[in-house]
Chains A and B, each alone.
Chain A
Amino acid sequence: NAGVTQTPKFRILKIGQSMTLQCTQDMNHNYMYWYRQDPGMGLKLIYYSVGAGITDKGEVPNGYNVSRSTTEDFPLRLELAAPSQTSVYFCASDTGPGELFFGEGSRLTVL
């Protein structure tokens, strides 16, 4: 059972570069989410999607973009990477309120 799969697991970017974090789920969940986790902090919601073609901003959306062309995929795009975007990023999906299934995370460092 794959669940939620994120790639890459690790990435180093230079300031100003762009990249896309990939997220795929095979559970046919309508709801998908992107969170960031900074040391000693809880999870902060970046963007979420309630179904293909529908996305919305979370608590910390600045500097990020998302798209949802299929039920399975929910990529997160970083444009013009900044050191403040150094973090661990988690993708998640669910079918019910709060019962999130998380991926293993993508650790991003911006230098």
Chain B
Amino acid sequence: GQQLNQSPQSMFIQEGEDVSMNCTSSSIFNTWLWYKQDPGEGPVLLIALYKAGELTSNGRLTAQFGITRKDSFLNISASIPSDVGIYFCAGGSGAGSYQLTFGKGTKLSVIP
């Protein structure tokens, strides 16, 4: 099946720093999505991308759909303690969510 390589696996950053994480694949995807999971909770959708080259922001978060359709990145600017959690990318290969492939996640820790 399709696989996503999400990196880094984990990162420790100082409060106020910017963060960058990415997902790559050998397969082409039609959609890219980024979710955040707080400890003990279910994932929550942060940003959805539907077009190659698309750059979308949601507050301090910015995500891009790679032009080759095989990658996506997520940036967080000026990190704060509540940014702590696991960030998952997901690539969609068809019209349904049952065709999503999830990355293994990037665990973010923010040092106050």
Q: Which residues of A contact B (CB under 8 A)?
A: 4, 31, 33, 40-45, 48, 50, 56, 58-59, 90, 92, 94, 97-105
Contacts and interface: CB of A to CB of B under 8 A. Distances in A.
B43 A42 contact: no
A42 B105 CA distance: 6
Nearest to A41: B104
B104 A33 contact: no
| Size category of the binding interface on chain B | 20 to 34
Interface string B71-112: 000000000000000001010101111111111110000000
Given A43-B43, A99-B45, A99-B48, A33 B97 contact: yes
Contacts of A59: 1
A44 B102 CA distance: 8
Contact of A105 (B42, B45, B90, B100): B42
Contact of B97 (A40, A56, A100, A104): A100
Nearest to B90: A98
Q: Point out which of A31, A48, A97, A98 has the most chain B C-beta atoms below 10 A from its C-beta.
A: A98
Given A42-B102, A48-B96, 7 more contacts: A33-B98, A41-B104, A45-B98, A98-B45, A98-B48, A99-B97, A102-B42
